[in-house]
Amino acid sequence: MMMNDMAQEAVAAGGGRKIGEVILDLQNISLRFGGVKALTDISFDVRKHEIRAIIGPNGAGKSSMLNVINGVYHPQEGRIVFHGEERKEMEPYMAASQGIARTFQNIALFKGMSVLDNIMTGRHMKMNAGLLSHMLYFGRAQKEEIEHRKKVEEVIDFLEIQSIRKTPVGRLPYGLQKRVELARALAADPDLLLLDEPMAGMNVEEKQDMCRFILDVNDQFGTTIVLIEHDMGVVMDISDRVVVLDYGKKIGDGTPDEVKSNPEVIAAYLGTSH
């Protein structure tokens, strides 16, 4: 089965999913590094349960925008409203505690640790027992460990990586490492999941699997997803709405069909078909 056919079938299967209210509103975001403008006056929103894609050429500002959303970068101008509350000087750990998780363009896993232990780190923000309890492993810490391990095992089953759960991540092929990184993000039970090029470097079969998992996460868990991806076939098949950036500016925003027919987007990025 070709990837776009698979994606369309998965979308159809999840047709009962309802897009909800705005949960993330980015208003007039501008980001500079010295005299270099990374983002200029960008506004768009993200609605509950949707898959919102950000596309654009290399250097368009896509990853910078994700870094703004989860607090790695602080824009010089603009407002970020998450779940109805304006966020000022947000740090990554604060974003994580408020329900934002992400994966990275370059895999950020602990290569010497097992798949299971890597995914367990995604539960760190959910743990409440004190350091001494965890060091001695008694009482509340022991109970927490059991509860968090159960959630991690559910994620492992969901992403079909049971057979590699004890394998050091560094021994895995690239496509499986990307799946483990997704698992770690899902272990945090995010309301908003940020995916930075989740299919980069994958072969066709690996892309098919990742595409299916992203759709299932959105459909079965109800997780809102913002994703950066260069594979336009995937983007146009699985996204509810697409925002297009070029040289740090927004040049398009709408449904996949609207974006595909936008003359400015075609000229800057998609190109004309012959």
Q: Which residues, 6 or more positions from 148, have their beta carbon under 8 angstroms from its beta carbon?
A: 120, 123, 126, 127
Which residue's structure tokens are 């391990």? 149
Q: What average pLDDT values come out for the chain (274 residues) when binned by 10 residues?
A: 45 55 96 94 97 91 94 94 86 86 82 90 62 48 69 92 93 91 92 93 89 94 93 90 95 94 84 48
* 3-class state of residue 22 by DSSP: strand
- What would be the CATH architecture of the domain defined by 3-99+190-270? 3-Layer(aba) Sandwich (3.40)
For residue 91, CA distances in Å to 4, 28, 67, 73 come to: 37, 20, 10, 8
Task: Name residue, tokens 């336009």.
Answer: 232
Tell me which residue of 231, 183, 184 sits closest to 203, measured CA to CA: 231
Tell me the C-alpha distance between 40 and 31, whole Å. Answer: 7
Which amino acid, residue 199? M
The residue to which tokens 């896993």 are assigned:
109
Separation CA 10–CA 20 (nearest Å): 20
The answer to whether residues 245 and 63 touch, using CB atoms and an 8 Å cutoff, is no
How many whole angstroms separate alpha carbon 48 and alpha carbon 18?
Answer: 9
**Contact assessment for residue 6 and residue 214, using Cβ atoms and an 8 Å cutoff:** no
CA 52 – CA 254 distance, rounded (Å)? 10
In which element (H, E) is residue 53 found?
strand 51-55
Name the 3-class secondary structure at 221. coil
Amino acid 122: pLDDT? 82
At 128 the three-state DSSP class reads coil
Report whether 101 contacts 190 (CB < 8 A).
Answer: yes
pLDDT, position 212? 94
The predicted pLDDT at position 8 comes to 45
Distance CA 266, CA 65 (A): 22
Report which of 252, 248, 255 is spatially closest to residue 29, judged by C-alpha positions: 248
Q: Are strands 100-102 and 51-55 parallel, antiparallel or unpaired?
A: unpaired
Q: Domain residues of the chain, as ranges?
A: 3-99+190-270, 113-187
Residue 132, pLDDT score: 43
Alpha carbon of 86 to those of 46, 62, 215: distances in Å? 15, 22, 29
Residue 120 parent element (H or E): helix 115-120
Q: DSSP 3-state assignment of 101?
A: strand
- pTM of the full structure: 0.84
- Token digits for 97? 């505690």
